[in-house]
C-alpha cells in the first residue's frame, strides 16, 4: 500500500471517529472541571477533613524517599493499612517531574474528576452507541454526590477508584457480553491495576458488584456459562493486591473500632435519600457559605424529590427490549447496591449487624453509603441506554387510562436536559464551596518557619494538644478556611520538614497524656521528660488559637522553657529533656500498671528516664523476652503495692484462669444504658492496657469461665472504682450474688477477692450485675484453686528478693485516698493531691505487703514543706529526713508480711516504699551513640559502651523493627510503652543495623504483582488461541 492510500485511509478513520463530538464533550468536561476546581488550584494547601493524607504524607514521602510513618505503623511506600502499588508509582513520577506535593494532589483530585467523566463517556458510548446518551451519562456519573464528597473530604484513593470504575466495568462488559478477545486479554491488567490503585472499600464493593451482576446476567442466558471464567478471573486479580498488602504490612483490614450507631449515622437514613444519591459525608460544609448541597438554603428536601427523576428515568430504560438482558442485570445489581447503601437503617438491619461484626471492611462507619457510588454507575449506563433507545423513535406516545394521550417529540433531548439539569442543580453549591485550597496564614506559618531553620532530627508537638481538625468556633480565623479542615499543625511538616509527634492512629498512647494534662493529674508536669525520651520532641508550638489555659499548663511543665513569642502571637517552647531518636539507658526498670503510672513514677522520683529504660510488664507477650528482661536484674516497680497485679502481668496464670471481660461485652452497639459494652476509656486514661466492659444501666453480663475440675476455687475481679459508680454484684455458678465495693474518691483499677467457691464442674458461668444507680466497669476475672494466689505471691516475693536489685511500691493520690476520712482533694503545683481538713491530728495509713525482710526506704511527697512529717510503724515512731522540694524519707528494717505504715502529714502527693540495694553503683554504662537514618525504614546505629546497656529507638513499636549487630540479633522489647528497645549484653563497640522487615516484603510484592498479571494474561491468551483453533477445526 502506497502513501496516498494510507493517507486516504487515515482520513476516513478520523472522519468516522466523529472527533468533533468527542472534542465538544472534552471541552464541556474540561470547562466543568475548571469551574469546579478553580478554588482548588489557587492555593497550595487543600481543604478537607482528610487532606493531610494528600499533602502532609506526600510531602514527607517526597522528602524522605518513601511514604512512611512508623508512629502510624505503615509499611514504607504504602498508605494507611494498605501499601498498594499506586503510591510508589506516583512518587516516582512526581520525583521525575519535579512536582511538589501540593501540585501532585491537585493533579490527583482534579484529574480523577475529569477522568471519571471521560471514562464514563467512552464506556457508555461503547455500550449504547449514543453520543448524547454517553455525554449525559458522564455528567450524571461525575456529579454523583457520594463521589463529590470523597473529593471534598480529601479521600483520594476513593476518588481514583471511582474514576477507574467505568474502565473496569467496560472491560468486564466486553468480556462477558461480547467475549471481545482484546477485552479478555486486558482483564488481568485492568483489574490488577484497579486493585492496586483503589481504597479497599472500593475493591470490596466492586467485588460484590461483579458477583451479583455476573450471576444475574448468566441466569438469563445459560448458553454462555463458560464465560463465567472471566468475572472469576477479574475478581481474583482484583483482590490480590489488597491481600498481598495485608501480608506485607501486617496490619490487617479487620481492625476498625467503630460502633454500629456511627454506621447508622453515616448510612442513608431512608430509601428516598439513597435512591437520590444524597451525600451523607458533608463535614466539609460545616461553617461554609451555604449549609447544603443546594445554593438556596432550605431546598434540600425539594431537590431530593426532584433528584428521584434520575432513578425513575433509569428504570424506564427497562421498557425497551434492546440490551434488556444487560439492563435487567444492571437493575438487579442496582437494587443490591441500594440494599447495602441503606446499611443498618432498614427492616433487615439484623443482617447488617452480623456483617458489621464479621465481614472485613464492612465494619467501617461510611462503607455502606459508598455503595451509592456504584449505584451511580448503574444510573449512568441505564440513562445512556434509555437515551439511545429514544433516539431511535422520533416521537413517544404517553398514555394514561382515562386521560388524553400525549405525544412527545425529541424525547431523547428532553430526558437528557432533565437529567443534566437535575444533577447540576442538586449539587450546585459545589461550584461556590467545592474543592478549595488556601495559603497557610502567616500567624500560623511563622513558628514553623522559625523551626525550619534549626537543624536536627527531632519532632515537634503542636497545641491545641491532639487537635486533628481546625475548630472554626474559636473565631480566630486569621484567613484560615471556614470549612472544616485539618488543624494548621497538620501542615507544619511541609514548612519544617520535621515530623509531628502526635499520631492520630496511635491515639491510645497520646490520649493518656492529654487526659492527665487536662485533668491536672499528679505527674502531668513531667510530661516533657516522657516526650523527649520516647517521642524525641524538641519543640512545642502553641498556635495562635491554642487555649490560654493549655498554654499555661505547658509553661508550667518541668523542662519546657520559652524559646520565642512571635509577632502573630504564637509561642515556641524548647524541651531541655529532648534526646535523639537513638539513645541509650544504663539500666532497666519493669513496672506494673498502665501508661499513666509512668508519670506517677517519674514525679515520685522512682525512675529517671535519662539513665533508665522503663518497660510496662503488661505489654510483654513473649515469655522468652520476659525472662530475658528479668535476667538483666531490673528494678521492679509495683503500682499500688499490688502483688496480684504483678503476678498477672508476669504471666503467672494461664488463659483459662484469667479472662479479659471486655471480650464478653457488646462491641458493636454503644448504648451503655441497655448493654454491657466494650470500652477503651480505661486504656485512654492510662489506667489499663486493654479494653474493659462498661455499663451505666441496669444490666447483666454473662461470662463463661473454665476451672480445673471439681474443687474449691478463689474468684478475683479487677474492676474500676470512683465517683458516680453504681452497685456491682457477682454471681458465680448460681451460688448467690456477692456485692463488690465500687466507691473511691478518685477513679482507680483494683483487684477484689469475690469469694471462695466449691465448684462441681469445670465449666461455670459468672454473672456481673449493675443496678443502674451509676456506672460499672470491669476488666478481668481470675479463677484459681483456693490458696493459689497466696502460693504464687510467696513465689514472686522470693523471686523479688533473690533476682532483682530492688523493688519499689508506688502509691499515687488515687491509691492513698482509699478508705481515708477527713481528707479531701486539693490542686497544688504538681496537680491534684490529698489535703487533710479534719480537726484531729492528721494521719494517713498505707497498707503494704512487704515481700521480704530488709531495709526499706519510705518516701513521702507532700504538697508543701511547712511541717516535717513523721511515721509510725508497728508502734515505733520514725523521724523523717528532709530531701527538699516537699519530699521526706524514712528508713526502717521491715519483716516480711502485711504492714500498716502510718504517716503523720497534712498533705500528700505520693508515697513510695522501696527496698535498699538498688544498684546505683559505679558500673553504670558510659555510652556514646551516633546514628544515621538511611531511609524511613532503616537505621545504622553505632554504640560504644563500657558495660551492658539498653538502646532505645524512637519509632512506634513493632516486631518488625529488628536490630542486628553483624549477624547477631539483639533482644527486642517495647520500651516506654510505645517505642523500641534493644539490649546490648556486654561492653564493646556495636555497629547495629535496624530495619523494618516488612519493607522487604513490600518490595517483593511488587514482583509478585507483575508476575501475577503476566501469568494471567498468558493463560487467557493461550485459552483464546486454543478456542480459536478449535473453532477453525470444526469449520
pLDDT single digits (tens) 57-91: 555 444 444 433 333 333 232 233 445 566 656 66
3-state SS class at 774: coil
Q: What is the pLDDT of residues 529-541, one digit of tens each?
A: 999 999 999 999 9
Most confident by average pLDDT, 129-143, 145-159, 462-476, 706-720: 129-143
Task: Return the half-sphere exposure (C-beta side, CA atoms, 13 A cut-off) of residue 188.
Answer: 15
Domains present along the chain, CATH in parentheses: 17-46+78-433 (no CATH), 439-584 (no CATH), 646-803 (2.60.120.260), 812-918 (2.60.120.260)
What is the pLDDT at residue 249? 53
Residues in contact with 539: Cβ distance below 8 Å, sequence separation at least 6, in sequence order: 451, 454, 458, 460, 461, 563, 572, 573, 574, 575
Task: Return the half-sphere exposure (C-beta side, CA atoms, 13 A cut-off) of residue 126.
Answer: 17
Q: How confident is the model at residue 290 (pLDDT cuts 50, 70, 90)?
A: low
pLDDT reading at 295 higher than 90: no
Weakest-pLDDT range from 146-150, 190-194, 262-266, 465-469: 262-266
What is the pLDDT at residue 560? 96
pLDDT reading at 49 higher than 80: no
| Cβ atoms of residues 283 and 484 within 8 Å | yes
pLDDT reading at 163 higher than 80: yes
Integer Cα distance of 426 and 238 in angstroms: 34
Alpha helices (runs of H) in 394-547, residue ranges in sequence order: 411-426, 430-433, 442-452, 492-496, 507-519, 527-534
Q: What is the pLDDT of residues 605-653, one digit of tens each?
A: 999 998 999 999 999 999 999 999 999 878 999 999 999 999 999 999 9
Q: Which of 924, 925, 926, 930 is nearest to 992 (CA)?
A: 930
Q: What is the pLDDT of residues 234-245, one digit of tens each?
A: 888 888 777 666
Cell of 694: 462498661
Integer Cα distance of 424 and 145 in angstroms: 10
What is the pLDDT at residue 331? 95
* Average pLDDT of the residues in 658-686: 91
What is the pLDDT at residue 920? 43
| pTM higher than 0.85 | yes
Integer Cα distance of 581 and 588 in angstroms: 18
Integer Cα distance of 389 and 415 in angstroms: 11
pLDDT reading at 26 higher than 50: yes
DSSP string, 118-168: HHHHHHHHHHH--HHHHHHHHHHHHT-HHHHHHHHHT-HHHHHHHHHHHHH
What is the pLDDT at residue 70? 34
What is the pLDDT at residue 693? 96
What is the pLDDT at residue 791? 94
pLDDT reading at 734 higher than 70: yes
DSSP string, 318-340: GGS-TTHHHHHHHHHHHHHHHHH
pLDDT reading at 373 higher than 50: yes
99 vs 770, which has greater pLDDT?
770
Task: Return the half-sphere exposure (C-beta side, CA atoms, 13 A cut-off) of residue 871.
Answer: 22
Query: What percentage of the chain carries pLDDT values higher than 90?
Result: 49
N-terminal to C-terminal alpha carbon distance within the chain: 31
pLDDT reading at 285 higher than 80: no
Q: Is the peptide bond before 543 cis (omega within 30 degrees of 0)?
A: no
Integer Cα distance of 911 and 640 in angstroms: 9
What is the pLDDT at residue 570? 94
What is the pLDDT at residue 256? 47
* Average pLDDT of the residues in 918-939: 74
- As beta bridge partners, residue 961 has 996
55 vs 488, which has greater pLDDT?
488
| Cβ atoms of residues 29 and 133 within 8 Å | no
pLDDT reading at 206 higher than 90: yes
| Cβ atoms of residues 639 and 593 within 8 Å | yes
- As beta bridge partners, residue 729 has 739, 769
Q: Which of 798, 762, 778 is nearest to 657 (CA)?
A: 762
pLDDT reading at 2 higher than 80: no
* Average pLDDT of the residues in 30-39: 92
Q: What is the pLDDT of residues 876-899, one digit of tens each?
A: 899 899 998 889 999 999 999 999
Integer Cα distance of 430 and 28 in angstroms: 17
Detail the DSSP E strand segments found in 293-435.
Answer: 395-398, 406-409
Q: How confident is the model at residue 105 (pLDDT cuts 50, 70, 90)?
A: confident
Q: What is the pLDDT of residues 787-810, one digit of tens each?
A: 999 999 999 998 888 876 789 999
pLDDT reading at 372 higher than 50: yes
Q: Which of 369, 373, 319, 381 is nearest to 129 (CA)?
A: 381
What is the pLDDT at residue 771? 94
Q: What is the pLDDT of residues 130-142, one digit of tens each?
A: 999 999 999 999 9
pLDDT reading at 741 higher than 70: yes
Please state the φ and ψ torsions of residue 245, each to the nearest 5 degrees. -65, -40
Integer Cα distance of 664 and 371 in angstroms: 32
Q: How confident is the model at residue 15 (pLDDT cuts 50, 70, 90)?
A: low
Mean of the per-residue pLDDT values for the chain?
A: 85
Integer Cα distance of 464 and 246 in angstroms: 34
Q: How confident is the model at residue 357 (pLDDT cuts 50, 70, 90)?
A: confident
Integer Cα distance of 423 and 751 in angstroms: 61
Amino acid at each position: 500500500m502506497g502513501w496516498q492510500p494510507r493517507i486516504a485511509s487515515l482520513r476516513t478513520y478520523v472522519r468516522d471517529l466523529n472527533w468533533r463530538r468527542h472534542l465538544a464533550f472534552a471541552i464541556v468536561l474540561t470547562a466543568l472541571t475548571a469551574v469546579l476546581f478553580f478554588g482548588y488550584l489557587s492555593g497550595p494547601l487543600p481543604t478537607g477533613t482528610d487532606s493531610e493524607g494528600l499533602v502532609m504524607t506526600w510531602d514527607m514521602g517526597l522528602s524522605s524517599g518513601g511514604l512512611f510513618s512508623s508512629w502510624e505503623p505503615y509499611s514504607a511506600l504504602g498508605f494507611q493499612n494498605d501499601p498498594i502499588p499506586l503510591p510508589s508509582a506516583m512518587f516516582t513520577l512526581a520525583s521525575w517531574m519535579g512536582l511538589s506535593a501540593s501540585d501532585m494532589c491537585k493533579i490527583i483530585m482534579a484529574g480523577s474528576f475529569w477522568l471519571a467523566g471521560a471514562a464514563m463517556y467512552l464506556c457508555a458510548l461503547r455500550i449504547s452507541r449514543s453520543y448524547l446518551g454517553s455525554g449525559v451519562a458522564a455528567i450524571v456519573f461525575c456529579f454523583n454526590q457520594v463521589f463529590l464528597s470523597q473529593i471534598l473530604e480529601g479521600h483520594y484513593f476513593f476518588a481514583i477508584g471511582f474514576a477507574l470504575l467505568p474502565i473496569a466495568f467496560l472491560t468486564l462488559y466486553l468480556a462477558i457480553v461480547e467475549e471481545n478477545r482484546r477485552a479478555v486479554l486486558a482483564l488481568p491488567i485492568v483489574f490488577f491495576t484497579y486493585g492496586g490503585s483503589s481504597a479497599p472499600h472500593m475493591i470490596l464493593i466492586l467485588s460484590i458488584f461483579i458477583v451479583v451482576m455476573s450471576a444475574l446476567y448468566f441466569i438469563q442466558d445459560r448458553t454462555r456459562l463458560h464465560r463465567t471464567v472471566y468475572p472469576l478471573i477479574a475478581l481474583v486479580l482484583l483482590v490480590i493486591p489488597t491481600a498481598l498488602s495485608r501480608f506485607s504490612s501486617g496490619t490487617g483490614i479487620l481492625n476498625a473500632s467503630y460502633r454500629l450507631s456511627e454506621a447508622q449515622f453515616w448510612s442513608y437514613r431512608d430509601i428516598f435519600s439513597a435512591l437520590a444519591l444524597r451525600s451523607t459525608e458533608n463535614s466539609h460544609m460545616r461553617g461554609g457559605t451555604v449549609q447544603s448541597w443546594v445554593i438556596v438554603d432550605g431546598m434540600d428536601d425539594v431537590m431530593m424529590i426532584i433528584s428521584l427523576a434520575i432513578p425513575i428515568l433509569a428504570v424506564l430504560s427497562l421498557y425497551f427490549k434492546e440490551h434488556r438482558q444487560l439492563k435487567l442485570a444492571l437493575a438487579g445489581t442496582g437494587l443490591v447496591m441500594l440494599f447495602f447503601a441503606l446499611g443498618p437503617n432498614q427492616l433487615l438491619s439484623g443482617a447488617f449487624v452480623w456483617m458489621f461484626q464479621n465481614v472485613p471492611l464492612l465494619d467501617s462507619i461510611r462503607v455502606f453509603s459508598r455503595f451509592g457510588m456504584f449505584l451511580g454507575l448503574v444510573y449512568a449506563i441505564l440513562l445512556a441506554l434509555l437515551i439511545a433507545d429514544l433516539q431511535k423513535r422520533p416521537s413517544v406516545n404517553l398514555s394514561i387510562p382515562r386521560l388524553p394521550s400525549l405525544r412527545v417529540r425529541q424525547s431523547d433531548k428532553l430526558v437528557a436536559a432533565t437529567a443534566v439539569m437535575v444533577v447540576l442543580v442538586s449539587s450546585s453549591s459545589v461550584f461556590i464551596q467545592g474543592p478549595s485550597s488556601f495559603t497557610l496564614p502567616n500567624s500560623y506559618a511563622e513558628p514553623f518557619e522559625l523551626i525550619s531553620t534549626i537543624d536536627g532530627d527531632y519532632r515537634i508537638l503542636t497545641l491545641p494538644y491532639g487537635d486533628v481538625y481546625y475548630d472554626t468556633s474559636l473565631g480566630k480565623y486569621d484567613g484560615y478556611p471556614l470549612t472544616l479542615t485539618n488543624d494548621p499543625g497538620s501542615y507544619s511538616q511541609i514548612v519544617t520538614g520535621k515530623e509531628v509527634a502526635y499520631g492520630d492512629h496511635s491515639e491510645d498512647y497520646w490520649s493518656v497524656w492529654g487526659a492527665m494534662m487536662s485533668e491536672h493529674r499528679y505527674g502531668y508536669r513531667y510530661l516533657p521528660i516522657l516526650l523527649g525520651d520516647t517521642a524525641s520532641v524538641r519543640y512545642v508550638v502553641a498556635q495562635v488559637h491554642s487555649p490560654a489555659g493549655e498554654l499555661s499548663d505547658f509553661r508550667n511543665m518541668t523542662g519546657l522553657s520559652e524559646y520565642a513569642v512571635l509577632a502573630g502571637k504564637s509561642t515556641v517552647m524548647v524541651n531541655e529533656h529532648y534526646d535523639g531518636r537513638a539513645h541509650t539507658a544504663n539500666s532497666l526498670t519493669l513496672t506494673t500498671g498502665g501508661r499513666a503510672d509512668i508519670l506517677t513514677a517519674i514525679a515520685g522520683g522512682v525512675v529517671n528516664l535519662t539513665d533508665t529504660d522503663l518497660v510496662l510488664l503488661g505489654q510483654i507477650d513473649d515469655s522468652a523476652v520476659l525472662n530475658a528482661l528479668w535476667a538483666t536484674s531490673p528494678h521492679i516497680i509495683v503500682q499500688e503495692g499490688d502483688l496480684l497485679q504483678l503476678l498477672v502481668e508476669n504471666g503467672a496464670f494461664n488463659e483459662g484462669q484469667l479472662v479479659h471481660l471486655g471480650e464478653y461485652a457488646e462491641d458493636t452497639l454503644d448504648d451503655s444504658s441497655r448493654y454491657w459494652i466494650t470500652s477503651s476509656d480505661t486504656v485512654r486514661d492510662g489506667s489499663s492496657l486493654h479494653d474493659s466492659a462498661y455499663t451505666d444501666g441496669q444490666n447483666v453480663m454473662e461470662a463463661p469461665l473454665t476451672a480445673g475440675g471439681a474443687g474449691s476455687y478463689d474468684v478475683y475481679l479487677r474492676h474500676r472504682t470512683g465517683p458516680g459508680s453504681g452497685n456491682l454484684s457477682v454471681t458465680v455458678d448460681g451460688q448467690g450474688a456477692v456485692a463488690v465495693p465500687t466507691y473511691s474518691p478518685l477513679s482507680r483499677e483494683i483487684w477484689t477477692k469475690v469469694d471462695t467457691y466449691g465448684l462441681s464442674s469445670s465449666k461455670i458461668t459468672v454473672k456481673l450485675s449493675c443496678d443502674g444507680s451509676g456506672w460499672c466497669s470491669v476488666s478481668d476475672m481470675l479463677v484459681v484453686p483456693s490458696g493459689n494466689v497466696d502460693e504464687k505471691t510467696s513465689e514472686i516475693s522470693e523471686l523479688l528478693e533473690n533476682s532483682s536489685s530492688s523493688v519499689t511500691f508506688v502509691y499515687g493520690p488515687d491509691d492513698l485516698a482509699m478508705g481515708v476520712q477527713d481528707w479531701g482533694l486539693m490542686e497544688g503545683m504538681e496537680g491534684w493531691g490529698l489535703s487533710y481538713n479534719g480537726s484531729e491530728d492528721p494521719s494517713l495509713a498505707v497498707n503494704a505487703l512487704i515481700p521480704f525482710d530488709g531495709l526499706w526506704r519510705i518516701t513521702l511527697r507532700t504538697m508543701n514543706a511547712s511541717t516535717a512529717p513523721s511515721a509510725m510503724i508497728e508502734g515505733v515512731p520514725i523521724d523523717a529526713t528532709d530531701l527538699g522540694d516537699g519530699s521526706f524519707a524514712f528508713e526502717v528494717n521491715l519483716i516480711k508480711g502485711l504492714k500498716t505504715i502510718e504517716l503523720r502529714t497534712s498533705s500528700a502527693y505520693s508515697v513510695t516504699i522501696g527496698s535498699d540495694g538498688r544498684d546505683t553503683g559505679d558500673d553504670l554504662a558510659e555510652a556514646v551513640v551516633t546514628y544515621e537514618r538511611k531511609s524511613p525504614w532503616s537505621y545504622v546505629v553505632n554504640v560504644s559502651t563500657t558495660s551492658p546497656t539498653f538502646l532505645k529507638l524512637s519509632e512506634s513499636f513493632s516486631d518488625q523493627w529488628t536490630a542486628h549487630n553483624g549477624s547477631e540479633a539483639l533482644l527486642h522489647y517495647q520500651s516506654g510503652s510505645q517505642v523500641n528497645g534493644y539490649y546490648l549484653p556486654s561492653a564493646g563497640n556495636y555497629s547495629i543495623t535496624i530495619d523494618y522487615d516488612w519493607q522487604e516484603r513490600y518490595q517483593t510484592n511488587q514482583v509478585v504483582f507483575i508476575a501475577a498479571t503476566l501469568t494471567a494474561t498468558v493463560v487467557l491468551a493461550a485459552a483464546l488461541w486454543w478456542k480459536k483453533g478449535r473453532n477453525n477445526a470444526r469449520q
